[in-house]
Structure 1
Amino acid sequence: MIPLPTAPRARLRSAALALLLFLVAGVVACGKDTDAPADGGPVQLSVFWYGNQRRAELTEQALQAYTRRHPGVTFRVTWQGSDGYYQRLATQSAGGNPPDLFQLDEDYLTEYAQRQIALDLTEFVDRRRIDLTRLSPSLVQSGTVNGRVMAVAAAENTPALVYNRGLLRRLHLREPNPDMTYDQYVSWARQVTVRSGGRVAGTMDPSADIRALWVWLRAGGLEFYRGRQLGFTADDLARWFEFWQDARTSRATPAAAVVQAANSGDPARQLVVTGRAAASFAWSQQLTELQRNTRDELALAGLPGAANAQWARASMYWAAYRGTRHADTVADVINFLTNDPQAGRILGDERGLSANLDIRQAVQSSLGDRAARLSATFETAMAERFGPAPPPPPPGQARIRALLRTAAERAESGRATGRTAAADFVEQANTALSG
Structure 2
Amino acid sequence: MHPDKTPAADARTTRGHRTATRRRLLAAALVIPLALGAAACGGDDSGDDGKTELSIFWWGAEGRAALTEKALELYTQRHPDVTFKKTWQANQGYFDKLATLTAGGNAPDIFQIDDNYIAEYAGRNVTLDLTPYSGDGKLDLTKFPPGLRDYGVVDGKLAGVAFGENTQGLVFNKTLLDKFELPAPTTGMSWEEHIAWAENVSKVAKVPGTQDASAIYQALWVWLRQQGKDLYKDKELGFTEQDITAWFDLWKGARDRGATPTPDVIHEGNATDISKQLVVTGKAATSWVWANQMPELKKNTADELGVVAYPGDPKSLWPRASMYFSVFRGTKHKDQAVDVLNFLANDPEAGKILGTDRGLPSNLDVRKLVADTVTDPNMKQTIAVQNDLGKNFGPSPAVPLKGHSKVRSELIRIAEEVQYGRQTPAQGAAAFVAAAKTAIGQG
Q: Which residue among 40, 44, 57 is the counterpart of 1:36?
A: 44
2: CA distance between counterparts of 1:295 and 1:333? 38
Alignment of 1:72-87 (within 5 A): 72-87=81-96
Shift of 1:41: 3.7
RMSD across aligned C-alpha pairs, in angstroms? 1.4
Partner deviation per Cα, 1:238-266 (whole Å, 9 max, x = no partner) = 11011001001101111111111110132
Alignment of 1:47-86 (within 5 A): 47-86=56-95
2: CA distance between counterparts of 1:216 and 1:160? 13
2: CA distance between counterparts of 1:37 and 1:362? 36
1: CA distance between counterparts of 2:85 and 2:227? 47
Partner of 2:191: 182
2: CA distance between counterparts of 1:87 and 1:19? 10
Question: 1:390 aligned to 2:397?
Answer: yes
2: CA distance between counterparts of 1:363 and 1:86? 30
Partner of 1:13: none
Partner of 2:227: 220
TM-score, normalised to structure 1's length? Answer: 0.93
Partner of 2:19: none
- Counterpart amino acid of 1:278? A
Structure showing greater relative contact order (alpha-carbon pairs closer than 8 Å, 6 or more residues apart): 1
SS at match of 1:368: coil
Partner of 2:26: 21
Asked if structure 1 preserves the Cα contact closer than 8 Å seen for 2:45 and 2:332, the reply is no
- Counterpart amino acid of 1:358? D
Partner of 1:45: 54
Partner of 1:109: 118
2: CA distance between counterparts of 1:295 and 1:387? 34
Asked if structure 2 preserves the Cα contact closer than 8 Å seen for 1:41 and 1:73, the reply is no
Shift of 1:301: 0.6
Shift of 1:76: 0.4
1: CA distance between counterparts of 2:179 and 2:347? 45
Q: Which runs of 5+ in 1 are unaligned?
A: 1-16
SS at match of 1:186: helix
Alignment of 1:313-324 (within 5 A): 313-324=320-331
Question: 1:245 aligned to 2:282?
Answer: no
Bigger CA drift: 366-375 or 61-70?
Answer: 366-375
Alignment of 1:217-296 (within 5 A): 217-296=224-303
Asked if structure 1 preserves the Cα contact closer than 8 Å seen for 2:404 and 2:439, the reply is no
- Counterpart amino acid of 2:288? F
Partner of 1:195: 204
Q: Which residue among 141, 150, 156 is the counterpart of 1:141?
A: 150
Q: Which runs of 5+ in 2 are unaligned?
A: 1-21
Shift of 1:37: 9.0
Partner deviation per Cα, 1:246-295 (whole Å, 9 max, x = no partner) = 00110111111111111013211111111111111111111111112111
Structure 1 segments (4+ residues) deviating >4 Å? none
Alignment of 1:90-129 (within 5 A): 90-129=99-138
- Counterpart amino acid of 1:356? N
TM-score, normalised to structure 2's length? Answer: 0.92
Question: 1:163 aligned to 2:172?
Answer: yes
2: CA distance between counterparts of 1:364 and 1:62? 18
1: CA distance between counterparts of 2:189 and 2:372? 29
Question: 1:88 aligned to 2:93?
Answer: no
Shift of 1:213: 0.3
Alignment of 1:289-304 (within 5 A): 289-304=296-311
Shift of 1:88: 1.2
SS at match of 2:211: coil
1: CA distance between counterparts of 2:43 and 2:106? 17
Q: Which residue among 207, 211, 233 is the counterpart of 2:214?
A: 207
Question: 1:346 aligned to 2:353?
Answer: yes
Partner of 1:413: 420
Shift of 1:35: 3.3
Bigger CA drift: 72-81 or 221-230?
Answer: 221-230
Task: Name the % identity.
Answer: 43
Partner of 2:385: 378
SS at match of 1:74: strand
